[in-house]
Chains A and B, each alone.
Chain A
Amino acid sequence: MFKIIHAEFLAPGIKRFVIDAPRIARKQKPGQFVILRIYEEGERIPVTIENSDAERGTINIVVQAAGKTTNLLNTLNTGDQILDVVGPLGKPSEIANYGTVVVVGGGVGTAMAYPTAAALKHAGNRVISIVGARNKELVILESEMRGVSDSLMITTDDGSYADKGFVTDKLRQLIQNGTRIDLVVAVGPIVMMKAVSEMTRKENIHTVVSLNPIMIDGTGMCGGCRVMIDGKSEFACVDGPEFDGHKVDFGVLVQRNSMYRDAEQRSLAEFQRAAKALADSQGVEHACAAVSAGRQGDQG
């Protein structure tokens, strides 16, 4: 069991958890992730590590509610327990002094981009960060990113905060302004990473992306996370999760991530129905709070 030391929403549907996991905290490096399972009947899902504190023995994870498991996770609060947390998994980001690095974080991907940006800054790079979100509320880790960047640009799809547009608009401006870019690191939705990679391919700028396929064990055992890199099959959990964006077959990634869409939608719908029923019966305002209370009760 892994105890949640602190939990707080960073944005609607995006929650940060500080988890007591001393072994993982000691070893975690930027770019790595954990796999967690909340309760006995739960599935195993990979989750980004945003940061860790080796002395306190804690890791931070940032989770955006999407399917059943992430919705359930976001009902958990300070003091609750997570049944299994295993890691740190995956190869760490390759940190070196490249010169000028552009770090692109899209949505909740910003949480994984942040430690990499910090390490790159620490290694002596000039770090230009671009953070994109759908709207003002969903911009996360702004001050953290600002703290590790020589300059920070923010875009929102709807223009409700900073500049209206996409991260690629900012990247294009940088390229058009003749900014010398030695490396681009992009973490976010697949469409964003694909668009960034296509843009930098033309300019011959080395680009690293962090992939998020479906995983079970996270140690290379199941092969479910296989991705096509330069026409060859690789396992994101042990060979990645970071790959050369110019070699990734994003189409295959999108297709494989859709494999269980029907089951995922069914799970989520049933979860939401149950949560609502529980909330109605208890007169609780927030359905998720009811589920959380019920779940903790089950565990005695």
Chain B
Amino acid sequence: MSPTTKKSLNPVPIKDRIKVPRQLMPEQPAEVRAHNFEEVNLGYSAELAQLEAQRCLECAKPTCTDNCPVGVQVKAFVELIVAGDFMGAAAKIREDNVLPAITGRVCPQEDQCEGKCLLSKKAKALGIGYLERFVADYEQRMGTHVVPKVTPTGKKVAVVGSGPSGLTVAGDLIQKGHKVRVFEALHEIGGVLVYGIPEFRLPKQIVREQIDYMRAMGVEFETDVVVGRTVTIDELMHEEGFDAVYIGTGAGLPQFMNIPGEHLNGVYSANEFLTRINLMKAYKFPVYDEPMLDLHGKDVAVIGGGNTALDAIRSALRLGARKAYVIYRRSDAEMPARAEEVHHARQEGIDFQMLTAPVEFLSDGKGWLTAARCVRMELGEPDASGRRRPVPVQGSEFDLPLSVAIMAIGTTANPIVQTTTPGLGTNKRGYIQASEETQRTTKKGVFAGGDIVTGGATVILAMGAGRRAANSIHQYLTTGEW
């Protein structure tokens, strides 16, 4: 298309586009959705998508793309939406992003593409995430994924972990003609997308559809394999004939605060709490066998201020909690959670106890949690992370009655792969050393990326690492140069 044709397709003159309000995402009413696990956001209609797409300023130098870890060609796909070519828009996104229906839902767009949108200087940013989601869902409804034809290279790549970075590597490499086999420790494919993120934010059907598409492209999946235990990296390379390995195992080991009472019945890690609900479907007990504590009428708190914390406490609310608190030691401004999630959580009635931290969990004397002893905080000088350090306020202790407390204060590296792979360098926190540019590790033929390299981050950053890794794995496989 020539520039003139493109312009003619958008009926709104450039200078007027900033006056068009950002199209609101249709959503389930807060009072309804607080009691179900169905998706909060309902998605744009074609009309809404086109109205929103028409707001794009079509920048000569699109900063949105520069600020996307996988480099989605935003301007190009948005133009295709304006033109009504939704399938074309989907194909355009897929050139850079193998999981658009997922990133369209869970990316922190305000920190990535939308954060750099020129519109956001004077008005609200273009709804890039909403548009991406619309296009991906449209493509899925049409059921006509185009499976690209490729020439086989005869090379085999093992991907360890089927979370967002592993899936990205698999999707990119299969399109370059390599054989790809993904190993997953759990019984379901998707990593944090299936055990961590709840149904109301990312329906599991969406994840399954994206994985089915990968299968259609030829990616092989093997579940129930704990690499490092069931098979080692060296065995994959020397005995099973894999030419390269990508490690995307995530930062799965939950952290605790090491305060008194953390072993009490009723204190969960967010990973366990969410895994019981999302992966094991414990909320459907007794149809499903995995049990969880009955939360009806109970007071529940999550400790932490990230997306995982909000996922956990909003799940607790949906499971009947009477009071649902977020206990966070800093203030609103420092909360790492996605802005939309915080907004949704407030609408649903989650009680945010900011500048507060537990110092001890109290019991009934029989091993069950009854309350969290908390202390109020104030912000002092900035710490190593650049955020102002929370300092306890003297004499501010109070007891918050609770039946369940969920620890969502971050995760660390799971050591299983590192400790069973000779020659694989790690840093002092136990994460795998990998080049930021190529994702190469210290071991020949082995690449790593995502949370197992950076520590806990976001889906899209993990996918960005996967993208870089796929490019450098391809280069390694075609040149043989390390």
Contact = CB atoms under 8 A, between A and B. Distances in A.
A296 interface: no
Contacts of A41: 281, 287-289
Contact of B223 (A84, A263, A270): A84
B263 A219 contact: no
A224 B265 contact: no
Contacts of B186: 217
A127 interface: no
Contact of A216 (B262, B275, B288): B275
B290 interface: yes
Nearest to B256: A233
B482 interface: no
Interface stretch (B10-18, B107-115, B225-233): B225-233
B289 A43 contact: yes
Interface in B159-201: 185-187, 195
Interface string A67-95: 01100000000000001111111000000
From A27, A219, A232, residue with most partner B Cβ within 10 Å = A219
Given A24-B230, A88-B230, A226-B263, A219 B291 contact: no
A219 B280 contact: no
A48 B231 CA distance: 19
Contacts of B289: 41-43, 68-69, 267
Contacts of B367: 252, 255-256, 258
A182 interface: no
B285 interface: yes
B30 interface: no
Nearest to A67: B289
Contacts of B288: 41-43
A4 B226 CA distance: 21
Given A256-B265, A266-B286, A222 B230 contact: no
Contacts of B416: 219-220, 238
A86 B230 contact: yes
Contact of B280 (A44, A259, A267): A44
Given A86-B225, A267-B289, A267-B291, A27 B271 contact: no
Interface in A200-251: 216-224, 226, 228, 232-233, 235, 238
Contacts of A43: 280, 288-291
A211 to B, nearest CB: 13
B414 interface: yes
Given A42-B289, A222-B254, A86 B224 contact: yes
Contact of A259 (B231, B265, B285, B290): B265
Nearest to A84: B187
B276 interface: yes
B272 interface: yes
B135 to A, nearest CB: 32
Interface in A27-45: 27, 37, 41-44
B263 A27 contact: no
Contacts of B224: 84-86
Contacts of B229: 27, 87-89, 219
Given A86-B224, A219-B416, A233 B254 contact: no
A219 B225 contact: no
Interface in A260-275: 260, 263-264, 266-267, 270
A172 interface: no
A86 B269 CA distance: 22
B185 A217 contact: yes
A122 interface: no
Contacts of A232: 258
B230 A221 contact: no
A286 interface: no
B252 interface: yes
Contacts of B290: 43-44, 216
Contacts of A56: none
A219 B272 contact: no
A260 B187 CA distance: 23
B272 A224 contact: yes
A258 B265 contact: yes
From A23, A252, A270, residue with most partner B Cβ within 10 Å = A23
Nearest to A215: B272
A221 B414 contact: yes
B263 A221 contact: no
B293 interface: yes
A191 B288 CA distance: 31
B253 interface: yes
Interface in B122-148: none
Nearest to B265: A259
Nearest to B250: A221
A43 B289 CA distance: 5
Contacts of B265: 255-256, 258-259
A221 B456 CA distance: 13
Nearest to B258: A233
B293 A259 contact: yes
Given A68-B289, A216-B276, A267-B289, 6 more contacts: A23-B231, A43-B280, A44-B290, A220-B415, A264-B291, A266-B286
17 contacts: A27-B230, A42-B289, A43-B280, A84-B223, A86-B185, A88-B230, A89-B229, A216-B276, A217-B185, A217-B275, A220-B414, A221-B253, A232-B258, A233-B258, A233-B262, A255-B265, A266-B286
* A-B CB proximity, top 8 nearest: A263-B291, A255-B367, A223-B269, A222-B272, A43-B289, A43-B290, A86-B224, A221-B252
Interface of A: 23-24, 27, 37, 41-44, 68-69, 83-89, 216-224, 226, 228, 232-233, 235, 238, 252, 255-256, 258-260, 263-264, 266-267, 270
Interface of B: 185-187, 195, 223-226, 229-231, 252-254, 256, 258, 262-263, 265, 268-269, 271-272, 275-276, 279-281, 285-293, 366-367, 414-416
